[in-house]
Amino acid sequence: MRLDGKIAIVTGAGSGIGRATALRLAQEGANLVLNDLNQKTLDEIARQAGSAHRTKVATVAGDVSREETAASIAATATSQFGRVDILVNDAGIHHVGDITETSLEDWNRLIAVNLTSMFLVSRAIIPIMLKQRSGAIVNLASISSFVGQEMDGKSTFLYNVTKAGVLQLTTSLATRYAADGIRVNCVCPGGVKTNLILGSILKGQDHIDDSIWKAIGPSHPMGRVAEPSEIAAAIAFLASDDASFITGAALPVDGGYLAR
């Protein structure tokens, strides 16, 4: 119960790491403001968190790359709970394709969802944290923030660019607001069992089996990919007072991938 009574916002809470994070923060005692595109999915997660942990949950469906959604998240948090202690910027999508076959539309979409969304929501929430003189922001970066990568013979350069931007956004906000009591960190996952990766691998196919994860696993020294709950545990730590003297950190949760 490290987060007992805290108010936490999680974007991209409908699936994968975002969903696991919402449930982990609820388990730790936080009340939640959850965002995703799909209201039905948000309602299901809200019921699950509320029934299991007696968590109070507010939801905001919408695209966080749009200003009005970011503003609605901030307004909902303040009207329902009066404060914001934690912001987890999780919303993101993947892209595989060489630069020579990537359209301007592709570029703008990835930048909007993966990076502009974090700018907009952080911009809306930081004034609340400044008034409190406290707060913790955790952004979802990636091992892709640091390295070049390919999948199936194609580059993931565009996804990598957005995640490198998340890393620098984290660093810049951390140094700017440290004296105001706001900590800003990011987690850098390696391979994780989520639909983010599968969407690129399967290209619309519905069938999923363990062979996919077994194929990706050997690229990590630990020989496997992560469960979403393992990334959520790291996020919960950075959001908690156990990390009270940590800001500007990029925490690899990657089974040793970046250590090679």
pLDDT digits (tens, 9 = 90+) for 115-125: 999 999 999 99
- The confidence band for 196, taking pLDDT boundaries of 50, 70 and 90, is low
Residue 74 in any domain: the answer is yes
Let me know if residue 28 belongs to a domain. yes
Structure tokens at 252: 């690899």
Give the range of the structural domain holding residue 210, as residue numbers without chain letter.
Answer: 7-259
Give the count of domains, the chain: 1
pLDDT band at 149 (very low <50, low <70, confident <90, very high): confident
1 in a domain, yes or no? no
Inside any domain, residue 105: yes
**150 domain residue, yes or no:** yes
Cβ neighbours for 138, distance < 8 A, ≥ 6 positions apart: 86, 87, 88, 89, 184, 185, 186, 187, 235, 238, 239
pLDDT at residue 131 is higher than 50: yes
Residue 235, in any domain of the structure: yes
Active site residues per annotation: 159
* Beta-bridge partners for 9: 33, 87
Residue 2 lies in a domain: no
CATH number at residue 37: 3.40.50.720
Tens digits of per-residue pLDDT, 7-18?
Answer: 999 999 999 999
Taking only the tens place, the pLDDT of each residue in 1-55 is 899 999 999 999 999 999 999 999 999 999 999 999 999 999 999 999 887 678 8
Looking at the predicted structure, is the pLDDT value of residue 68 above 80?
A: yes
253 in a structural domain: yes
Expressed in angstroms, the distance from the first to the final Cα of the chain is 35
Per-residue HEC secondary structure of 78-139 comes to HHHCCCCCEEEECCCCCCCCCHHHCCHHHHHHHHHHHHHHHHHHHHHHHHHHHHHCCEEEEE
Pairing type for strands 150-151 and 154-155 reads antiparallel
